[in-house]
Amino acid sequence: RRTEALAGSRGPGRTADGHAVQLLVNLGSPADLDAAAAADSEGVGLFRTEFLFLDRETAPTVEEQTAAYAQVFAAFQGRKVVVRTLDAGADKPLAFADHGDEPNPALGVRGIRLARTAAGAALLDDQLAAIGAAATAGDADVWVMAPMVATQAEARAFAARCRDHGLDTAGTMIEVPAAALRAARILDDCDFASLGTNDLGQYALAADRMNGALADLLDPWQPALLDLVSLAAEAGRESGKPVGVCGEAASDPLLACVLVGLGVTSLSMAPSAIPAVRAELASRTLDECAVLAAEALHADDAAEARRRAAC
């Protein structure tokens, strides 16, 4: 197969007819930094910053954070790094931003919602100040995005806050169905969006992502999830702004082609997943990816979507 012949290829992601798709890595801990930087990618599509905040009694200082971000930006100099602001709260409680017990943590005060309180807003400002300082000192192309955005107002407020800190490329994750449905409006207020398909699937199918008994509902091939991806990608196309995927869905080579066929502009994944995704993408034209996407969208369930795309 063409895919096998291309498995050793390197460089930017492209379809067989040359349509560019950025291939990026997910990064969640400094221990993974060397492997992530060594991967043949165009940068980091999701830098999870929780490692700096969890399991401690007090918030990290701006200086401490600046040093941590600077280390990552130095490893990726000349490349893009999309930093996600703190996605804690709820099931990842912080001693220094306590919201008490919540009966439904996944639906609680998490992600950007932490900024609703003065303490949470101060945490976010410190984080943005640190990202801004580290970005100024290095020469990575630094983008910033907020997790768990549900409304246009949240996206707008976040982008304004980023700009106050000299961070000019501000975006949101789309991992709440409301944000996917209103992606066009959200993109009016920010520069890019990134689909978090793990949470988007959880919330679209109302299935706890930690509950293995619901794995069939959490399957990233669920047509309802693909419908939401399609809406967001379409909003990206219309606005001319990038809409990528940084959830697990991006690391399945065939599904990655479906996502590209739906119109996403970048795919971010574990470094080890990149070669197979690059090869699969290089074996199909953009039109062929669009045909796969249409097949998957017309399926009744996840298993059929996968089967139809594989034919």
Dihedrals φ, ψ of 23, to 5°? -105, 120
Residue with tokens 């970005």: 135
- 199 in a labelled binding site: yes
Region binding ligand PEP by CB under 6 A among candidate stretches 91-99, 160-168, 191-199, 233-241: 191-199
Site for Mg ion in 164-183 (CB under 5 A): 175
Dihedrals φ, ψ of 171, to 5°? -140, -175
CB of 138 to Mg ion, least distance (A): 26
196 binds Mg ion (CB under 5 A): yes
246 binds ligand PEP (CB under 6 A): yes
177 binds ligand PEP (CB under 6 A): no
Residue of 45, 120, 196, 236 that binds ligand PEP (CB under 6 A): 196
- 219 in a labelled binding site: no
244 binds ligand PEP (CB under 6 A): no
CB of 247 to ligand PEP, least distance (A): 3
- 209 in a labelled binding site: yes
Dihedrals φ, ψ of 267, to 5°? -130, 125
Residues tagged active-site = 246
Burial 92-105 (b: 16+ CB within 10 A, else e): ebbeebebeeeeee
- 175 in a labelled binding site: yes
Q: Nearer to ligand PEP by C-beta: 175 or 295?
A: 175
Using CB atoms within 10 Å of the CB of residue 122, give its burial: 0 to 12 exposed, 13 to 18 middle, 19+ buried. middle
Which one of ligand PEP, Mg ion, none interacts with residue 136, CB within 5 to 8 A by kind?
none
Q: Can you count the helices (H) and strands (E) in the chain?
A: 13, 8
175 binds ligand PEP (CB under 6 A): yes
Maximal CA-CA distance, the chain: 57
**Degrees (nearest 5) of the Cα angle 83, 89, 94?**
95
What count of other Cβ atoms lies within 10 Å of the Cβ of residue 10? 8
- Strand, helix or coil at 166? coil
Which one of Mg ion, ligand PEP, none interacts with residue 46, CB within 5 to 8 A by kind?
ligand PEP
Give, in order, the Cα–Cα distances in Å from 176 to each of 123, 162, 196, 214.
23, 21, 9, 19
Residue of 154, 199, 252, 280 that binds Mg ion (CB under 5 A): 199
Site for ligand PEP in 21-50 (CB under 6 A): 46, 48
Annotated binding site for Mg(2+): 175, 199
Q: Please report, as ranges, the residues that interact with Mg ion according to CB under 5 A.
A: 175, 196, 199
Q: Please report, as ranges, the residues that interact with ligand PEP according to CB under 6 A.
A: 46, 48, 87, 175, 196-199, 246-247
